[in-house]
Amino acid sequence: MATQTMASRPPLPPFTHESAIQKVRLAEDGWNTRDPAKVALAYAMDSRWRNRSEFVNGRHDIIAFLTRKWARELDYRLIKELWAFTGNRVAVRFAYEWRDDSGHWYRSYGNENWEFNDDGLMAVRHASINDRPILESDRKYHWPLGRRPDGHPGLSDLSL
């Protein structure tokens, strides 16, 4: 196992059930900041992504991708949940709510497969995502923008 360095992102692989859950929550918290530069620090410099039908390579492209994403997906709130893990890999399911600039709301559902390097930075991310229009009255995520409060229900609790 790698020693912890300034560039490492604990918890480090190999993951236990507890450390995998912690890694998922840290990722959720990061994405809920909607700060592309901050989020990109969790990824290896040469990280490779497949996000829907888009292929993204490296932190520079990640920052550009996330900047475009959050310019379009307004009032973004995300919940991630651990699905499975082994060694340096984690699988998650997630759902996030957002609105477009005309005020139409969506819930996006998906699955991600993550692979981490020895420093705990995500080296590979594969995401499959589907968007579903919802009415504003159907929203389930009402916390203030930013980190999901600890007491807020997760995906399973919300039957999502």
What confidence tens digit (pLDDT) does each residue in 46-84 have?
Answer: 999 999 999 999 999 999 999 999 999 999 999 999 999
pLDDT of residue 7: 81
pLDDT bracket for residue 2 (50, 70, 90): very low
The yes-or-no verdict on residue 33 having pLDDT over 50 is: yes
Residue 126 CA to residue 115 CA, distance in Å, equals 9
Please determine, looking at this structure, whether the domain spanning 17-138 carries the CATH number 1.10.10.60: no
**Which residues, listed in sequence order, are joined to residue 79 by a DSSP beta bridge?**
95
Q: What percent of the chain has pLDDT over 90?
A: 96
pTM: 0.94
Spell out the long-range contacts of 91-97 with Cβ–Cβ below 8 A and sequence spacing 24 or more: 92/24, 92/27, 93/155, 94/28, 94/155, 95/155, 95/160, 96/141, 97/134, 97/139, 97/140, 97/141
Looking at residue 1, its pLDDT comes to 46
- Mean pLDDT (the chain, rounded): 96
φ, ψ dihedrals at 135, nearest 5°: -80, 150
